[in-house]
Structure 1
Amino acid sequence: MLTMTQVAKKILVTCALPYANGSIHLGHMLEHIQADVWVRYQRMRGHEVNFICADDAHGTPIMLKAQQLGITPEQMIGEMSQEHQTDFAGFDISYDNYHSTHSDENRELSELIYTRLKENGFIKNRTISQLYDPEKGMFLPDRFVKGTCPKCKSPDQYGDNCEVCGATYSPTELIDPKSVVSGATPVMRDSEHFFFDLPSFSEMLQAWTRSGALQEQVANKMQEWFESGLQQWDISRDAPYFGFEIPNAPGKYFYVWLDAPIGYMGSFKNLCDKRATPPASTNTGRKILRPSCITLSAKTLSTSTACSGRRCWKAATSVSRLTCSCTAT
């Protein structure tokens, strides 16, 4: 319990978003139980805690799984969301809000962040060569291509990294690539893609990661990526794809890792729309470092300016910096 001199905190807590193409397993549940224990402890101490999460509901795996089941992606993620929430309720996980990245809030925020980045010159267009499955009529994401690692020559490795030697590479570098979807040998095709100019924020991000905002171990891992040099990040995917279509770009969709981290904001915004007084400080429980710590931080820090209203809670949150319409002074 809080003493007379202590002030109750307003805390927002999240867990990693479960992917909506399968059931909750023990690995998922362990994290959610651990977070729930911490949440309950903070509530017992007298702090105001709001506990949110959502399903990560976009991407090629979901599109293909729905095709296999003979249903639409929307139907599949709806059924999976109900199953996930039932499982969490069965373990008494005390969520205040459980949402989905396939939501109006997430679409709004994703489009807004993208538009701000584009207006500020941080979205670059260029034509790239990609592996294309001639049997399925679709471009192949890196995890849907397998072949021999170009570094250590280990067979049966995915198109983005080798699980044997740890090397990272592009799918086009694989030796003897094969489509995971059909088994066909992919062919090369050109397509225009949109890239987030992440290197422009290297200095800002390095300063932020060393500001004390992160655990030392996480900051050290970030430093490894800075030392090897940040690369422009491909945030687009070609149709067919299940996700949000990019504004003014027919047939192009936001890569799932563009809108998935923003899904935390979408779930938070959904909660804020339901409640008059949202939390003011954030503790995000997220373990996938590169998209969450690097790209999400760059996207939000570079596209927003905090509300200047002294009485506006929105000055404290990334969501609000993008959406605030208050009249506070």
Structure 2
Amino acid sequence: MKKRLITSALPYVNNIPHLGNLTQVLSADVFARFCRSRGYETLYICGTDEYGTASETRALKEGVTPRELCDHYHKIHKAIYEWFNISFDYFGRTSTPKQTEIVQHIFNEVDKHGYITERTTTQLYCPNCGRFLADRFVEGTCPHCHSTGAKGDQCDACQTLLDPTELIDPHCSVCGTTPILKETKHLYLDLPKALPLLKEWMEKASVEGFWAKNAIQLTNSWIRDGLKERCITRDLKWGIPVPREGFEDKVFYV
């Protein structure tokens, strides 16, 4: 029997669902129903994306804890998708104990095989709020397209991935204070070291999985240009704890 694992992009749970969320889950739902009608063993899963700065900043604005915010909006998301009769086999949350267990297990396995590096970096820090400004906690002008309102992780105008220190005229998105630079330790996924394994897997998986032409071209361009180490931790309180000594005040960026 053929098997099909289906999902759609996990919606942020810092607001009520919008048409973009519904378009994705409806498209995946149509495919899931088709697969079931053909007798395929089908599993359609999704859930709310609850960790990260999007939830923390929204919680600050609403005067609640991140957990209270996520509990509130998860119920709204779930109810709306049920009203549209979306046929999820499982609709979960990224803040569950099981999710924490899985993420920490994957990290420990990757770390055991030598694909995790530790680096001290200089990050933006708000002296008024007393926190490092990860991702959406900092805004400024994009150094590439010069659009204002670019976030610390990405410019929505030109879709370029950013490091917070690249922003022009950065400011804390909570209080507006101009940040200072301060050292902090973080963990990185050593993608250059894993490149040979990833390349071998991609060449096989792209054929067996019937990848779209644009997906193959995009992946090949990343491989051709060379992969860079990717930071996997953040100086945040709301998230999955990092199970390593000296990183008790960090969470995973997932």
TM-score clears 0.5? yes
TM-score, normalised on structure 1? 0.70
Q: Which residue of 2 aligns with 1:231?
A: 228
Q: Give the superposition deviation at 1:164.
A: 5.3
SS in 1 for 2:120: strand
Q: Give the superposition deviation at 1:11.
A: 2.2
Q: Which residue of 2 aligns with 1:186?
A: 179
**Distance in 1 of aligned mates of 2:189 and 2:139:** 26
Identity %: 36
8 Å CA contact 2:54–2:136 kept in 1: the answer is no
**1:30-69 alignment, distance < 5 Å:** 30-69=23-62
Residue of structure 2 aligned with 1:246, choices 232, 237, 242: 242
Q: Which residue of 2 aligns with 1:71?
A: 64
Residue of structure 2 aligned with 1:220, choices 195, 217, 222: 217
Task: Choose 90-99 or 165-174, whichever is displaced more.
Answer: 165-174
Q: Which residue of 2 aligns with 1:198?
A: 191
One-letter amino acid of the structure 2 residue matched with residue 251 of structure 1: D
**Distance in 2 of aligned mates of 1:153 and 1:85:** 38
Extract unaligned runs of 5+ from structure 2: none
Q: Closer, same or farther in 2 for the Cα pair 1:225/1:9, shift >3 Å?
A: same
Q: Closer, same or farther in 2 for the Cα pair 1:169/1:94, shift >3 Å?
A: closer
Extract unaligned runs of 5+ from structure 1: 1-7, 258-329
One-letter amino acid of the structure 2 residue matched with residue 120 of structure 1: H
**Distance in 1 of aligned mates of 2:157 and 2:35:** 42
**Distance in 2 of aligned mates of 1:162 and 1:238:** 21
**Distance in 2 of aligned mates of 1:70 and 1:95:** 32
Structure 1 position 210 matched with structure 2 position 203: yes
Q: Give the superposition deviation at 1:68.
A: 2.3
Q: Closer, same or farther in 2 for the Cα pair 1:20/1:147, shift >3 Å?
A: same
One-letter amino acid of the structure 2 residue matched with residue 233 of structure 1: R
What is the aligned-residue RMSD (CA, Å)?
1.9
**Structure with more contact order per residue of length (Cα contacts < 8 Å, sep ≥ 6):** 1
One-letter amino acid of the structure 1 residue matched with residue 186 of structure 2: H
**Distance in 2 of aligned mates of 1:154 and 1:44:** 48
**Distance in 2 of aligned mates of 1:89 and 1:170:** 38
Residue of structure 1 aligned with 2:168, choices 154, 169, 175: 175
* 1:63-90 deviation line (CA, Å, top 9, x unaligned): 2222322222222212211111111111
**Distance in 2 of aligned mates of 1:91 and 1:149:** 38
Q: Closer, same or farther in 2 for the Cα pair 1:141/1:54, shift >3 Å?
A: same
In terms of fraction of residues, the more strand-rich structure is 2
**Distance in 1 of aligned mates of 2:193 and 2:136:** 27
Task: Choose 29-38 or 45-54, whichever is displaced more.
Answer: 45-54
8 Å CA contact 2:53–2:135 kept in 1: the answer is no
Q: Closer, same or farther in 2 for the Cα pair 1:77/1:149, shift >3 Å?
A: closer
**1:132-143 alignment, distance < 5 Å:** 132-143=125-136
SS in 2 for 1:125: strand
Q: Which residue of 1 aligns with 2:10?
A: 17
Q: Which residue of 2 aligns with 1:307?
A: none
Q: Give the superposition deviation at 1:14.
A: 1.2
**Distance in 1 of aligned mates of 2:71 and 2:145:** 42
**Distance in 2 of aligned mates of 1:250 and 1:155:** 34
What is the number of residues matched between the two proteins? 248
**Distance in 1 of aligned mates of 2:154 and 2:164:** 9
One-letter amino acid of the structure 1 residue matched with residue 128 of structure 2: E
Q: Closer, same or farther in 2 for the Cα pair 1:50/1:76, shift >3 Å?
A: same
Q: Which residue of 2 aligns with 1:115?
A: 108
